[in-house]
Amino acid sequence: MVAQTKGDVKDIGLASQGILRIEWAAREMQVLRLVRERFARERPLEGLRLSACLHVTTETANLALALRDGGASVALCASNPLSTQDDVAAALVSEYGIPTFAIHGEDHETYYRHIHSALDHGPHYTMDDGADLVTVLHKERRELIGGVLGGTEETTTGVIRLRSQAREGMLEYPIVAVNEADTKHLFDNRYGTGQSTVDGVTRATNVLWAGKQVVVCGYGWCGRGIAMRVRGLGGHVIVTEVDPVRALEAVMDGYRVAPVLEAASDGDVFITATGDVKVIDEEALARMKDGAILANSGHFNVEIDIPALEAMSEGKRHMRSSVEEYRLKDGRRLYLLGEGRLINLAAAEGHPSSVMDMSFANQALCVEYLAGLQERPTRDVHPVPVDIDRTIAALKLNSLGVSIDSLTDEQLRYLESWEEGT
Amino acid sequence: MVAQTKGDVKDIGLASQGILRIEWAAREMQVLRLVRERFARERPLEGLRLSACLHVTTETANLALALRDGGASVALCASNPLSTQDDVAAALVSEYGIPTFAIHGEDHETYYRHIHSALDHGPHYTMDDGADLVTVLHKERRELIGGVLGGTEETTTGVIRLRSQAREGMLEYPIVAVNEADTKHLFDNRYGTGQSTVDGVTRATNVLWAGKQVVVCGYGWCGRGIAMRVRGLGGHVIVTEVDPVRALEAVMDGYRVAPVLEAASDGDVFITATGDVKVIDEEALARMKDGAILANSGHFNVEIDIPALEAMSEGKRHMRSSVEEYRLKDGRRLYLLGEGRLINLAAAEGHPSSVMDMSFANQALCVEYLAGLQERPTRDVHPVPVDIDRTIAALKLNSLGVSIDSLTDEQLRYLESWEEGT
Amino acid sequence: MVAQTKGDVKDIGLASQGILRIEWAAREMQVLRLVRERFARERPLEGLRLSACLHVTTETANLALALRDGGASVALCASNPLSTQDDVAAALVSEYGIPTFAIHGEDHETYYRHIHSALDHGPHYTMDDGADLVTVLHKERRELIGGVLGGTEETTTGVIRLRSQAREGMLEYPIVAVNEADTKHLFDNRYGTGQSTVDGVTRATNVLWAGKQVVVCGYGWCGRGIAMRVRGLGGHVIVTEVDPVRALEAVMDGYRVAPVLEAASDGDVFITATGDVKVIDEEALARMKDGAILANSGHFNVEIDIPALEAMSEGKRHMRSSVEEYRLKDGRRLYLLGEGRLINLAAAEGHPSSVMDMSFANQALCVEYLAGLQERPTRDVHPVPVDIDRTIAALKLNSLGVSIDSLTDEQLRYLESWEEGT
Amino acid sequence: MVAQTKGDVKDIGLASQGILRIEWAAREMQVLRLVRERFARERPLEGLRLSACLHVTTETANLALALRDGGASVALCASNPLSTQDDVAAALVSEYGIPTFAIHGEDHETYYRHIHSALDHGPHYTMDDGADLVTVLHKERRELIGGVLGGTEETTTGVIRLRSQAREGMLEYPIVAVNEADTKHLFDNRYGTGQSTVDGVTRATNVLWAGKQVVVCGYGWCGRGIAMRVRGLGGHVIVTEVDPVRALEAVMDGYRVAPVLEAASDGDVFITATGDVKVIDEEALARMKDGAILANSGHFNVEIDIPALEAMSEGKRHMRSSVEEYRLKDGRRLYLLGEGRLINLAAAEGHPSSVMDMSFANQALCVEYLAGLQERPTRDVHPVPVDIDRTIAALKLNSLGVSIDSLTDEQLRYLESWEEGT
């Protein structure tokens, strides 16, 4: 029966490896494990259908299992063509009975076909990572919108898109911005993206970071995580920014800050993390040193102007896994990693399980929260309730064996009074 | 005439040294210098009276000069009995014509008398650092409230007090929370307090930080600045917190996190930065090692329970400037620095000018903003307008010789759209 | 012809991938490239036979090519059963005409058979990494010793073994301790081992370092490299040492220092880097937390007491590539990475090319130096000539685009005089 | 009687403050305290006269007391005109009976007169810090040389001078290079100089380090200590070097490396730590930005070319304690700190007691060692015996509450064997 679960995966024979790897991830996901155990007892999602568009990784599998144990029926598709782990997809379908539509390296058409397959599930709730599923739903599957009660969104990029959509009055149901939970964006975007982006570049290239000039475009939470880790490995960081306050923080944090075009001629490695388009454009590419390495950590592969790079080139070689050599007409060689897609998933394993633990505990608790509301919230982007955030942080500390203080009554009173002075 | 400026200072003969030191601070305050130059041309504060309760330091002197050149008549008192630099006070009175009421080490009564003197000025605007002046005004000088149009507040502590006051409907005029400008709290509270707190402890004790166990109570902006600098000097940091999200950040930032009572027995040096009361209480004092050093970086001297320490002691010696040895009844000796008052002002020179540059540019621009409003804002605590923040950051970057990028039209458009996906 | 080169490799068909990867490594090995170019012109090794026992990696391939272009005939075997890159071995044999005897994962017997094959070459010089080849030569192939003029040794472990051998009068020919060149051990052991060890653990486990308790056994050059990088990734480092001076340095560098048995119960991840045996012994294993991860960065797989671990276990599972789960009789699970072999080669790609560049430039120049000597040095372990060290450092700086100062005549004179005082 | 101790100090009335401060330093000098306690019991220096030329600080006072309690008769003079703490000198003379000749700010003539006074003591042993006393002894007081049995030297600079003297056959008695003990130079030069140099600049200027461009000339142990601490405070470090290996380490440690002339135009603060002359020369001064700050951390005030600076200037103002403003003829202003003398003593309190603890335990134990030798060593510069080094490190760890492992017999045997291989 389980074997008859729907799905479109690469090779169902990979399931046994996937099972072990999902279990491995579970070791580091103790908050989600506690949530799952409670869900199994309380079944708060009984009878609900979810369509989830997420990176199909070992951590997502653990989320799917928690939702399933909470009573939900979940269908899953990939939120990026390069991020699917085929053994996990196989395990989800053949072992855990989660319909999954995702193949590593799938083409553009298959990618969107799989989103449609996940939507065919007829969701009460959507779970998105970049807002592709929500967008398809709003543009091409409007017949389903009436049945959708709410959704969640995992990333900065997706939240930006959804806010913009809501501003135009085009968002048809409420969405919780999981990304904006403190226990999500302060951790996943900083410690998770920081480590895994650097890891992706290391696996792709095996370069020594010590002494390298590394240009980090963007000093948001992701960018500062990357900068912190590159420095931790001995790299010389150059930050580029458009926001003067963030740029000033980067200076005070000890980093060189420069415009992209100035950094372009000094960098050995470039990493984009801005959420914006053409951050490394043709002019920047034109100034780079022979041998420069280009990677993107942002959600979409638009931060480096790859069409411009293609147009400037007269040849291309696949040097190593995830490394493409572009031979430019002027003789220089530039190396694009992971086709400019988010490098931590393209060349490494994405965020470590330990940070996804918190992000996905947020996902699970936010769906529970939406399902438990008496009144439907407005068709807008909503914050994660503060209680969920604090609960997750406290559980995580506990799982790390760390205790903290709590305020005494006297301290609480003091904070609330204004009369005591010097 | 200038010589006849009112004031109560320690020794007017210190003025010449004060003048040079004010000039020295000006070197690092290039944003405020630009504001002052514009103010001198435009005179936006013409005819306004300001009563300011601030740490009377070289940086405050530069702010007072900017306000004066903008047309305001400023009277100044100290916001902490130990933070006044007597040479600066002398210079303000005798050279710059700013009525100043502040004496380093003044007693409690004098401290409050000086606040009254500053209020006697009959302010249109108040400028506060900890909300003592506003509190006295509301409690004891209500006859002046009718004339007050607005105010600004510099610190976390003050904003907490004012918010609490506003919540109770007791705040009689609008106040701008300068502390919450990004260019204030992200810099002054982190880089400024971080460096100067560590500097204060170093000057008081001359201990080697490398290898020391240093307990930092509180992981707000100040606490994380302190922790960062202690680690930068080779110290082993132990963070204590009451907020689970902050505690988790501290863990992920590489610090040991523990409850105060557990840290108490391990610490060589303790630094409080919480804004709350009795963070180090009698029970913690009872567990400390012989020789432990206690310092406070928070606004008020209530974070360490000094009355408890006194009660536990059988003797006291003044070992060095800013170092009091308490001989406990059980034989241990504990060392309290700067009487438990904010150590960066008690034993060092407070925030370096370069961060006060931004905080005080905010002060100057916020008073100008209030003065320029057509309509009076509500009697509440208001944020600093975003434009002021960005302007200050951009000017500061410029003064550091750093350029940054700006968004292209295509990039702006991209950020505002939601239709482009994977 | 080239196709008829002798060798024993896994799959000759992997050669094309090996060729590209060798070229990729060459990008980062600019010092060795300059040496190779000069060797090709000057042929200083004309007619000499070398037997080299080295990790068969892309970097070693570049060294072999430099030696070949210098006129030498080189035979190569692996210095560790798990470190061979099969595509490189294939490329060396089929494309570059270097007899190579090395298969990834070869068993103990094959490992030693391959050493014999390399020795069958009848070397004038030996090149070793861990002293296995020299040991076999001295113990089992003494018929060849008469023809050997000298050798080089790459590692700390090997140098310790050879010194011990020389002390007993058992070393039959002079060996240059390449490991002790500043441009070798200060860089390769610190920045190379540091990064690649952490990389190996990351690839094997995908754990988040931030917040983890990581026990680093040994604070020699390798250990401090590892500690530095773990901290750079947000880990909480606990150092164990037997040397009080090094232990004190670790404390002053900001690390917690503790005995192994104390660290055992706190650690989430353990990494050994001591060059000694049973650093993590049965008693330490008995105290570890459920789920602890064990890795070794030292040359031999003796630092963790694996036989003890086996004896304590009642079952074993292969969780992921390079991760073995041991289920202990008491119910705990411990995870051993890469069979306890040096993790940077077992689970990652070994030192990044950029540091091997300097180590292998030392190898090439030391063989040239030995070959150029008029008089044979004593049968002892000899240092790398200082000139070689400085030349390599200067070339490396140059390749990084960094210029430095040189002493003026006046400065040189000053350093040599003793008469000028205060 | 004690009151009749010889000496030349500023103000004997400062003694009571000196006593407290000497006691304060003793808190952090637990190794020296243990040595002193043993000396008091064993009296190993009974009847010996010592002439010591050291920075007259609270730590030196503790050393003098240990030597005195060991039975020696000690006379003390200053090793730098600006480093004397007058209260300490007063306490030594009036309370502790140590003849002391040292006045803060003494002129060149007095400085040398005081050295003669210390030599008048007729020493069996000399103790030097920079070799000025030894040089005067060899050049002007040769009548005393016959009575001198040996000496010790504290600094890099002194050891360089003495080695040069010994090479020329001009050194008349053996000297132990205390500076080269691991427990001295690895700690004092790195953690001590690092922290206290930065502290000196902070106290002199109160600049914010975060975001500043700080040029550190020299990457020896002192230079790397300074660079480490500047980075720890958020500064952007630029290292200058003449040694390619050290320069390369600096690059790999994450610092920008550049020639002095290139760094000159970028630096906000310059700190020299090379032991050489004219490191910042006229050409460098000519390129600096208006407002640049100059400090020296090396032993002598020759690293910055002060005569050139004087010649380039048309005016000078004393801005703050330890800050001299030079107004250059081209309009720029440069700020020289502490007259170019070692800034950690000129503007701060020198090395923290905790590092001097180890340096001075070395001094005390090395004099004991010399006094206990049966045979007089050669007239050369000798290393500190390894046992002394290890003993001190072990005592220091103990005082910090840190335990470490020791090698098992099996581990010792393994390290000594060469036969076990892969």
Q: What angle do CA A107, A110, A116 make, to 5 degrees?
A: 145
Residue positions counted in chain B = 422
- Selected residue of B23, B30, B195, B206 to mutate for chain D interface (largest D Cβ count, 10 A): B206
> How far apart (Å, rounded) are the C-alpha atoms in residues A251 and A272?
18
Helix pair D15-27, D58-69: axis angle to 10 deg = 80
Q: Is B252 within 8 Å of A187 when comparing Cβ atoms?
A: yes
* pLDDT tens digits, D262-293: 999 999 999 999 989 999 999 999 999 999 99
* pLDDT tens digits, A368-379: 999 999 998 999
> How far apart (Å, rounded) are the C-alpha atoms in residues D101 and D84?
10
% residues pLDDT > 90 (chain C):
91
- Kindly identify which residue of chain B lies nearest to residue C230, measuring between CA atoms: B254
Query: What distance in Å separates residue C330's CA from the closest CA in chain D?
Result: 27
Q: What pLDDT does residue B1 have?
A: 38
Q: Is A160 within 8 Å of B415 when comparing Cβ atoms?
A: yes
% residues pLDDT > 70 (chain A):
98
Burial of C379 (0-12, 13-18, 19+ CB in 10 A): middle
Inter-chain contacts counted by CB atoms under 8 A, chains A and D: 28
Q: What pLDDT does residue C157 have?
A: 84
Q: What pLDDT does residue C299 have?
A: 84
| Closest Cβ opposite residue D254 in set A231, A251, A253 | A231
- Mean per-residue pLDDT, A375-395: 95
- Put the strands of the sheet holding A150-153 in their side by side order: A7-8, A100-101, A73-78, A49-54, A125-128, A150-153, A175-177, A381-382
3-state secondary structure C30-64: HHHHHHHHHHHHHCCCCCCEEEEECCCCHHHHHHH
Query: What distance in Å separates residue A267's CA from the closest CA in chain D?
Result: 13
* pLDDT tens digits, D169-225: 999 999 999 999 999 989 998 999 999 999 999 999 999 999 999 999 999 999 999
> How far apart (Å, rounded) are the C-alpha atoms in residues C24 and C396?
18
CB-based contact B18:B88 (threshold 8 Å)? yes
> How far apart, in Å, do the first and last CA atoms of chain A sit?
73
DSSP string for B382-403: EPPPHHHHHHHHHHHHHHTT--
Q: Is A208 within 8 Å of C28 when comparing Cβ atoms?
A: yes
- Kindly identify which residue of chain D lies nearest to residue B397, measuring between CA atoms: D211
CB-based contact D108:D130 (threshold 8 Å)? no
CA-based nearest residue to D218, from D181, D263, D176? D263
Query: What distance in Å separates residue A289's CA from the closest CA in chain C?
Result: 12
CA-based nearest residue to B136, from A229, A418, D176, A291? A418
Inform me whether the pLDDT recorded for A3 exceeds 80.
no
> How far apart (Å, rounded) are the C-alpha atoms in residues C150 and C240?
37
CB-based contact B85:B106 (threshold 8 Å)? no
Query: What distance in Å separates residue C319's CA from the closest CA in chain A?
Result: 6
Lowest average pLDDT, out of B80-89, C3-12, C316-325, D175-184, goes to C3-12
Q: Is D236 within 8 Å of A253 when comparing Cβ atoms?
A: no
User: Running along chain B, 422 residues long, what does each successive block of 10 average in pLDDT?
Assistant: 76 96 96 97 98 96 98 97 94 97 96 98 97 96 96 92 92 96 92 97 97 97 97 98 97 97 98 96 98 94 97 96 97 97 91 94 97 93 96 96 94 79 62
Which of A218-222, C2-6, C186-190 is the most confident on average? A218-222
> How far apart (Å, rounded) are the C-alpha atoms in residues A297 and D31?
52
AA letter at D351: H
Q: What angle do CA C77, C82, C83 make, to 5 degrees?
A: 60
Q: What pLDDT does residue D418 have?
A: 63
Q: Which residues of B are less than 8 Å from C235 in CB distance? A: 254
Q: What pLDDT does residue A389 have?
A: 95
| Closest Cβ opposite residue A211 in set C199, C318, C400 | C400
Q: Which residues of C are less than 8 Å from A345 in CB distance? A: none
| Closest Cβ opposite residue D211 in set A210, A235, A252 | A252
| Closest Cβ opposite residue B422 in set A80, A242, A276 | A80
| Closest Cβ opposite residue B254 in set C231, C248, C251 | C231
> How far apart (Å, rounded) are the C-alpha atoms in residues C24 and A101?
36
- Selected residue of C156, C229, C248 to mutate for chain D interface (largest D Cβ count, 10 A): C248
Q: Is A319 within 8 Å of C353 when comparing Cβ atoms?
A: no
* pLDDT tens digits, C92-147: 999 999 999 999 999 999 999 999 999 999 999 999 999 999 999 999 999 999 99
Q: Which residues of C are less than 8 Å from D418 in CB distance? A: 131, 135, 160-162, 164-165, 168, 170
Q: What pLDDT does residue A146 have?
A: 95
Structure-derived torsion over alpha carbons of residues B245, B248, B249, B255, reported in degrees to the nearest 10: 150
- Kindly identify which residue of chain B lies nearest to residue D27, measuring between CA atoms: B291
Chain A residues within 8 angstroms (CB to CB) of chain D = 210-211, 231, 234-236, 251-254, 256
CB-based contact A265:A287 (threshold 8 Å)? yes
Give all chains having 3 or more CB-to-CB distances under 8 Å with chain C.
Answer: A, B, D
| Closest Cβ opposite residue D202 in set B24, B27, B199 | B199
Which ranges constitute the DSSP H helices of D58-169? 58-69, 86-94, 108-119, 132-140, 142-145, 156-167
CA-based nearest residue to C36, from C60, C59, C64, C57? C64
Q: Which two tokens stand for residue A189?
A: 């975007």
User: Running along chain D, 422 residues long, what does each successive block of 10 average in pLDDT?
Assistant: 76 96 96 97 98 96 98 97 93 97 96 98 97 96 96 92 92 96 92 97 97 97 97 98 97 97 98 95 98 94 97 96 97 97 91 95 97 93 96 96 95 79 62
Q: Is A210 within 8 Å of D236 when comparing Cβ atoms?
A: no
Q: Which two tokens stand for residue A143?
A: 């017949």
Inter-chain contacts counted by CB atoms under 8 A, chains A and C: 100
Q: What pLDDT does residue C416 have?
A: 80
Q: Which residues of A are less than 8 Å from B164 in CB distance? A: 415-418
Q: Is B277 within 8 Å of A411 when comparing Cβ atoms?
A: yes
Helix (H, G, I), strand (E, B) or coil at D306: helix
Residue A157 confidence class, pLDDT cut points 50, 70, 90: confident
| Closest Cβ opposite residue A211 in set D234, D236, D251 | D251
Residue C381 C-alpha from the chain's centroid: 18
Q: What pLDDT does residue C1 have?
A: 38
CB-based contact B344:B159 (threshold 8 Å)? no
Give all chains having 3 or more CB-to-CB distances under 8 Å with chain D.
Answer: A, B, C
Query: What distance in Å separates residue B304's CA from the closest CA in chain A?
Result: 12
The ipTM of this complex is: 0.92
> How far apart (Å, rounded) are the C-alpha atoms in residues A48 and A72?
5
Chain D residues within 8 angstroms (CB to CB) of chain B = 20-21, 23-24, 27-28, 191-192, 195, 199, 202-203, 205-211, 228-229, 231-234, 291, 317-320, 323, 348-349, 351-355, 400
Q: Which residues of D are less than 8 Å from B191 in CB distance? A: 208, 210-211, 234
DSSP string for B319-373: EETTEEEEEETTS-EEEEEGGGSBHHHHTS-SS-HHHHHHHHHHHHHHHHHHHH-
Q: What pLDDT does residue C422 have?
A: 63
CB-based contact D402:C243 (threshold 8 Å)? no
